[in-house]
Structure 1
Amino acid sequence: MPETPARVHRAEVLANTILSPSLRRITLGGADLSDYPTTASPDEYVRLFFPDADGAEPRLPRVVGRGWEFREGVAPSPMRTYTVRAHRPGEIDIDFVRHRGGLAAKWADGAVPGSPLGVSRPFAQFAAGAGTGAGIGPGVDAGIARLTLVADATALPAAERIIEEAPPGLAIRLFCEIADPRDARLPDRSPARVSATWVHRSGNGHFASRVADAFFRADLATDGSEAVWVAGEAAMTRRIRGHLRRTLRFPAAHTHIVGYWTDNEEAWRERFDALSPADRGLLDSLYADYGDARDEGREAVLDSIYALYERVGL
């Protein structure tokens, strides 16, 4: 099958379904999604390009490498990053957290069949099964007997897909913080052996986050037989990463940790903008080092970045 040329696709809403008090599913399709690809990575992500107003057309950029650019004189469309909950020929599902404010949540609230949206090609992250070759995460290879997932509501769709597409017989345990007990949801079917710990009234921009504390009480195998996937609010993921790195000396090759969003981002940005020239210069240098580093060297640079974040209150 020939490879789909990289482009930003024009999708149309096929369905808008409320899943729970905090989650809404948008099903996208349309003629331009007829050849839409998948990386086969269960937490693959896409860039969504939103219209300026209901019913308006989003301005779609052209793909350049792993990025994109708009034609000269064309104002960029608002863009956000989301994971793909499900992929079917010509269709994808994307789950949105329901909350007040925020460009994406507002668009999803008002989306109706036919509403247009720009969708980039997907990018791989975590490899779901041995030998898939998909993604940049640790994957689940032959020596992995258990996979531990830690998430909040924003990462629950990706966690669900990982559970759905896991290798048969793999032990999976999920720690997930949710604002409402009715948000607790798992796939109807999975080839894995799955258990879940739901931390109610926790995190998600509504409450203090407690999912890390629940995770810290769990036993973890540090002999290479366990993999850990963590995604959600940035401070929560950094705290768990620090515990894995410094306290447990957990193998970095068996972790995949991604911050999806920042709680109270406006205040965080104000603190970031107020950094001293010396600290800002150090961060810029570390960011450059991170881009050049690989594997454990990259993890060491992240250690330095997050230590600086902690020192300056970010």
Structure 2
Amino acid sequence: MAFCEPAAVVRTTRLTPSAIRVRLRAVGDWRWHTDGGGDERIDLAFPRPGEQDADVAFFNDREYGHTPTDDEPPWRHYTVRAVHEDGQELDIDFVVHEGGVASGWAENAEAGDIVGVFHGGPSRSYYAPPADSQWQLLVADATGLPGLARIVEELPAGARARAIVEVPGEQDRQEIPTRGNVEWTWIIGSGGRTSALPATVAESDVPDGPGYAWIACEAAAARRVRSHVRTAWGLGRDRHRAVGYWTAGASGHVEQDRD
């Protein structure tokens, strides 16, 4: 099996003014994982500027962990929103923003366009609540919303959670079906250095009993929320996970900050 596999666009769907869902279908015999869940990570290679299909062969001709070169095609971290047909198809939700390589690709993608899917190793997810968790705090901005939405959809019946989500506009709220008992707080804001997520979490009461916090947003905001749930809420390392999905002021590929 190749390290980078081709996948073709099936269709695109505009979910909200700032979110586009792209359905991908595996080209060839490879399949995506069916045992993943939560904020399952996926790395995607995109076409170079002016090209229609990703140069999948570029990555397969190099060793894993190779030093990037000037001619390397663009690639980014994303979250698998859903898996279909035993791994043959999968959904990826993209946040629309000016100047983004992946965002611009998603806005213009057409059926049949090819991206590369890095497919080495097992399914990877940061979300891992302890079995005895009686409640969950789920915090995300627009970039973390696809992972949060999948987590909420896959909650067991009656599971108690509070979801705090920051999105650019009122129309960017999404209806997420769930079997859980979820309390939603939607914040309208631009995120980044001015994110209201840390202050909103700081104003929240700590639920009774053992719990778990999952945070996915801009890196500095994620660290501030992480610090609060550690110190004020007393959550140990096994009871929270904070992931910086992007860094304000930085562009291009940024390695996700996590703890």
Alignment TM-score > 0.5, same fold = yes
Count of equivalent residues: 248
Secondary structure of the 1:194 match is: strand
247 and 183 in structure 1: CA distance in 2 versus 1, 3 angstrom threshold: same
Give distance in 1, aligned partners of 2:12 and 2:225: 34
Runs of 4+ aligned structure 1 residues displaced above 3 Å come to: 62-65, 67-70
Tell me by how many angstroms 1:145 deviates: 1.1
How is 1:204-283 mapped onto 2 (pairs within 5 angstroms)?
Answer: 204-205=191-192, 208-221=194-207, 223=209, 225-265=210-250
| Aligned-partner SS, 2:244 | strand
> What does residue 184 of structure 2 align with?
196
Amino acid at match of 1:158: G
What CA distance in whole angstroms lies between the structure 2 residues aligned with 1:176 and 1:45?
19
Classify 1:182/1:249 alpha carbon distance in 2 versus 1 (closer, same or farther; 3 Å).
Answer: same
The superposition leaves residues 111-157 of structure 1 with CA deviations (integer Å, 9 ceiling, x where unpaired) of 1000100011264224xxxxxxxxxx43241x111111000000001
8 Å contact kept, 1:160–1:186: no
- Unaligned 5+ segments in structure 2 are none
One of 23, 28, 39 as aligned partner of 2:24? 28
Q: Deviations over 1:226-284 (max 9, x none)?
A: 10000010111011111122333222211011000011226xx9xxxxxxxxxxxxxxx
RMSD: 2.7
- Which residue does the alignment assign to 2:139? 150
Measure how far apart 1:34 and its partner are: 5.2
Residues 28 and 119 of structure 1, relative CA distance in 2, 3 Å threshold: same
Residue in 2 that maps onto 1:279: none
Letter in 1 for 2:82: A
Distance in 2 of aligned mates of 1:156 and 1:63:
34
Corresponding residue number in structure 1 for 2:52: 55
TM-score (norm 2): 0.86
1:38-92 deviation per Cα after TM superposition (whole angstroms, max 9, x unaligned): 3422211111111113424423423999x4549xx99422110000001112101
> How far does residue 94 in structure 1 lie from its aligned partner after superposition?
0.4
Percent identity over paired residues: 32
Equivalent residue number for residue 175 of structure 2? 186
Cα distance 1:252–1:261, how it changes in 2: closer, same or farther (>3 A)?
A: same
Match of 1:102 among 100, 103, 117: 100
Q: Supply the AA of the counterpart residue of 2:147.
A: A
Structure with the larger helix share: 1
Which structure has the higher relative contact order (CA within 8 Å, separation 6+)?
2
What is the CA distance between 1:218 and its match in structure 2? 1.2
The amino acid across from 1:58 in the alignment is D
Higher alpha-carbon deviation: 173-182 or 56-65: 56-65
Which has more strand, going by share of residues?
2
Provide the rounded CA distance (Å) in 1 between the counterparts of 2:43 and 2:141.
20
TM-score (norm 1): 0.72
Instruction: Indicate the SS of the match to 1:264.
Output: coil
Question: Cα 1:36–1:198, aligned 2, differ >3 Å: closer, same or farther?
Answer: same
The match for 1:305 is: none
Secondary structure of 2:28 counterpart: helix
- Can you give the 5+ residue segments of structure 1 that lack an aligned partner in the other structure? 127-136, 270-297, 300-314
1:138 aligns to 2:128 (yes or no):
yes
